[in-house]
Structure 1
């Protein structure tokens, strides 16, 4: 999965006393027992902080104040949605901004699929479908990218023409540093062949997690327990998140998970056309 992707920015490494200072800005009397750098995160750096008597927290450190403010606004907006961690406080820390978030228990969906059974994988997929349906209950008037107040300030309305224009921009000369020409040609051919299916996307503009996959979903054998890492959230089509979710079909037991996922969406009234997978792949190509 994407744990092997390059980070967008270098990790932000803090000294223990700097982390203690950050915690004291929230609750000055807490005694830190352990500090652990968490894996994952393509632009922020996350620390798990364990205390002697209190529940653990996550210290989420970023160079982007606006992005963290957007996340806090979103977490506050979703406070009734129990699968999203509470965002306790936003603080300044040296030249960075840091968020103090609730620690959520659970194992990553990715790990559970690797170690699980078909029945458990199907149940997890079903639960992931339910949670995506819950996320879609937060509508927006237009699609695009948020400012810190969750206003759409960079509209992005998807049409076949807009899709192909955006794909050509992504496949510009710089992309050859990472992808061989043969693969670039295959991506371009796929986009041209299937882009007309964009017209079948009748989902309205609503909240998009934009990184909805097995590394950002926690769970147990009963289902999904948490949806983490909202740094790329936006407003738009459900296919952004569907495409992200099905990106790794070779993951063990994923076929059972995918069937459960679609069933979970269907149970909430989200009925997809027979071409849903091609549409989701189209969106996910832009999400890469």
Structure 2
């Protein structure tokens, strides 16, 4: 792909002075960002991150510095959070060789699944060792906003159902059922309110790079905040049934071995916390990458619960 003039000028003047970009390649991006592989004429590889909807450049750059030596992350080379130099917010980091865990789980021998799970669990435990003064969502200096991330699930689900495309794709009975479930979770989530550990908030195989059975980088920190690691446990286990056998058990084992704490009822708590993310996905355009998958997941879980079973996903 061709780089815009202002960004190419920013690279040559500020981010990579003295280096010439010999090749570019579009990488898989997310709903809120776009990623481009840059290869210099000397063979060095970098990733240029452009922010399409949500400017989390300052937060991601600050987290990369904070996590150095604690959690494997891509090294940030240069960042322009306000776009004053590049014309838009951009972040340049070193490319981390490896493969996404999502690919490894589909191509590796089955016996590696447990080891890959343990490595992902241990990396998550390391993330949780980073603490903050209080829970909340980060400003540009990584100061949490004091807004409790575990509170208000039913209202959050209701708002996303009312304003998103799921309103037209879920039946009235399905919407009512989902709201009942969100309300039933709230007393459980109150038990983890006040936690103030680092949460990645999109911790799943597509954002974890591995070499062999070791995690070499955790990517995409744009949604990170301060709360309980059970948000990330729920995210990872959302599609547990689709992983190779023993991966999920390895993940849980690795998380505990790395020092992560799983309180009584952690499976229901983590599933309830993950409903925040699922509701947010349902508010996105119906042709976005994960909308249909999230919708199908919610319907599947609703169908699994009969009237005699607890009113929880």
TM-score (norm 1): 0.85
Match of 2:120 in 1: 128
Work out whether residues 78 and 92 of structure 2, in 8 Å CA contact, stay in contact via their aligned partners in 1: yes
Give ranges in structure 1 of 5+ residues lacking alignment.
1-12
The reply to whether residue 22 of structure 1 matches residue 10 of structure 2 is yes
RMSD: 2.4
Relative distance call for 1:167 and 1:214 in structure 2 (3 A) is: same
Shift of 1:128: 0.6
The reply to whether residue 111 of structure 1 matches residue 103 of structure 2 is yes
Distance 1:105 1:248 in 2: 26
Give the secondary structure class of the aligned counterpart of 1:151: coil
The reply to whether residue 219 of structure 1 matches residue 210 of structure 2 is yes
1:252-278 per-residue CA deviation (whole Å, 9 max, x = no partner) reads: 40x411100110111123342452222
Match of 2:250 in 1: 260
Relative distance call for 1:97 and 1:173 in structure 2 (3 A) is: closer
Distance 2:150 2:192 in 1: 9
Work out whether residues 58 and 102 of structure 1, in 8 Å CA contact, stay in contact via their aligned partners in 2: yes
Shift of 1:211: 0.7
Work out whether residues 32 and 54 of structure 2, in 8 Å CA contact, stay in contact via their aligned partners in 1: no
Distance 1:17 1:202 in 2: 47
Distance 1:63 1:40 in 2: 10
Between 102-111 and 241-250, report the one with greater CA deviation.
Answer: 241-250
Work out whether residues 128 and 260 of structure 2, in 8 Å CA contact, stay in contact via their aligned partners in 1: no
Distance 1:26 1:74 in 2: 19
Give ranges in structure 2 of 5+ residues lacking alignment.
279-313
Between 196-205 and 146-155, report the one with greater CA deviation.
Answer: 196-205
1:129-161 per-residue CA deviation (whole Å, 9 max, x = no partner) reads: 1001110111112211110000112512535xx
TM-score (norm 2): 0.79
Work out whether residues 195 and 226 of structure 2, in 8 Å CA contact, stay in contact via their aligned partners in 1: no
Shift of 1:27: 2.2
Between 256-265 and 182-191, report the one with greater CA deviation.
Answer: 182-191
* Superposition map of 1:1-288 within 5 A: 15=3, 17-24=5-12, 25-62=14-51, 67-81=56-70, 83-91=72-80, 92=83, 95-156=87-148, 158-159=150-151, 162-172=152-162, 174=164, 175-201=166-192, 204-253=195-244, 255-288=245-278
Give the secondary structure class of the aligned counterpart of 2:145: strand
